[in-house]
Amino acid sequence: MLGYKPDSLKIVDEHTGTITLLPQKEMLKEVVVTGAADLFKMENNGISADIQNTPLKNMGNLSEVLGQMPFVVKDDDAYTVLGKGTPISYINNREEMIFLKRLKIKISLVTMV
């Protein structure tokens, strides 16, 4: 069901009683639902950014992406996570000591712990 049949009723005094509308059945050809997900979300172990469907995925390297993360301060080639200190980089669950500007990979998820 979708809505109610239109009706009009002349009200003559305040004792009209209960007004009941009749349901109106209507078939729809299609329904489009549009939503938006938050780019950054808080998780138990920190903040994560699912960037695969955002402009951040085209930034070129991990250094540029990290510079856009909340709570990350970038000073030349050094990074600091507010309240945590120097971040450690993990790629595929392995700690990496890589110069981030040279790292050009397809990035889909960045998590700050």
Whole-model pTM: value is 0.49
pLDDT digits (tens, 9 = 90+) for 71-96: 888 887 777 888 878 877 777 777 76
pLDDT digits (tens, 9 = 90+) for 47-71: 777 877 788 878 777 777 778 888 8
* Top-confidence residue, 31 or 106: 31
- Report how far residue 65's alpha carbon sits from residue 51's, in angstroms, rounded to the nearest whole number: 9
Q: Is it the case that residue 107 has pLDDT exceeding 60?
A: yes
What lies within 8 Å, CB to CB, of 92 at 6+ separation is none
